[in-house]
Amino acid sequence: MKKGKKTIIITSVVAAVLLLATLAAWFKYQYDQAMKYCYKVSKFKVVSFNKDRLLCTMTVLVKNVSSLGATVVGYSFGVSLNGKFLGTAKDDAPFRVKPNAVSELPVTLDVNPKKGFSPEEVITLSAYALTNKEKLVFSFKGGVRVKVLGISFTAPYSATYSLKELLEDDPDEQSCTF
């Protein structure tokens, strides 16, 4: 093989390796940025609460600091009220998270409180909902399935709020992973 062709081949291989290494580093950086997200529950509303049903709607504000958009392909998290498991909130409807922006993820919680509470406890909880909102503590734990550039992963979600905190909708409060 001639020296000129050999030089071209070696140069091409080195350039290809450098390009692949640069792309791999960029994807790793974007993944790390995607995992640096902040979230906050907003617009929490108790739609219905009685002995047969607890129906709440809320918006989870997700701050994406990555320059890549993402798609939430679903979420699933357990919901507890005052330490007792109520049920699971889940949805598989795709939702677009904008790059370098805050996106609003709508969440509906629809559970049967009879599964975790006696009728007397439901009455007590209902009274707390009216008079002492600090005594109603919701815990959420699970994950949000996200897809970025065709790569799927689960971002963990864990938060605990009193009913009072959920209803206050503090614009400065947020939980971050960094």
What is the model's pTM? 0.68
Across the range 132-141, mean pLDDT stands at 86
pLDDT in tens, 6-47: 888 888 888 999 999 998 888 788 777 766 777 777 888 888
More confident residue, 81 or 171: 81
Listed in sequence order, the residues at least 6 apart from 17 whose beta carbon sits closer than 8 Å to its beta carbon are none
Pick 37 or 56 by higher pLDDT.
56
- pLDDT at residue 175, rounded to an integer: 60
With CA atoms as reference, report the closest residue to 152 among 144, 140, 162.
144
Which of these ranges, 33-37, 52-56, 66-70, has the smallest mean pLDDT? 33-37
Q: What's the pLDDT score for residue 18?
A: 92
- Residue 33: the pLDDT is 72
pLDDT at 19: 92
As given in the structure block, the two tokens for residue 121 are 């406890």
| 142 — pLDDT class (breaks 50, 70, 90) | very high
**CB half-sphere exposure, 70, CA atoms < 13 A:** 33
Nearest partner of 86 among 60, 44, 56, judged by Cα: 56
Per-residue pLDDT at 79 exceeds 70: yes
* Residue scoring higher pLDDT (105 or 174): 105
CATH of 35-171 among 1.10.150.120, 3.30.1060.10, 2.60.40.10, 2.60.40.680:
2.60.40.10
Is pLDDT at 172 greater than 60 in this prediction?
no
Query: What are the residue ranges spanned by the domains of the chain?
Result: 35-171
Q: What pLDDT does residue 176 have?
A: 60
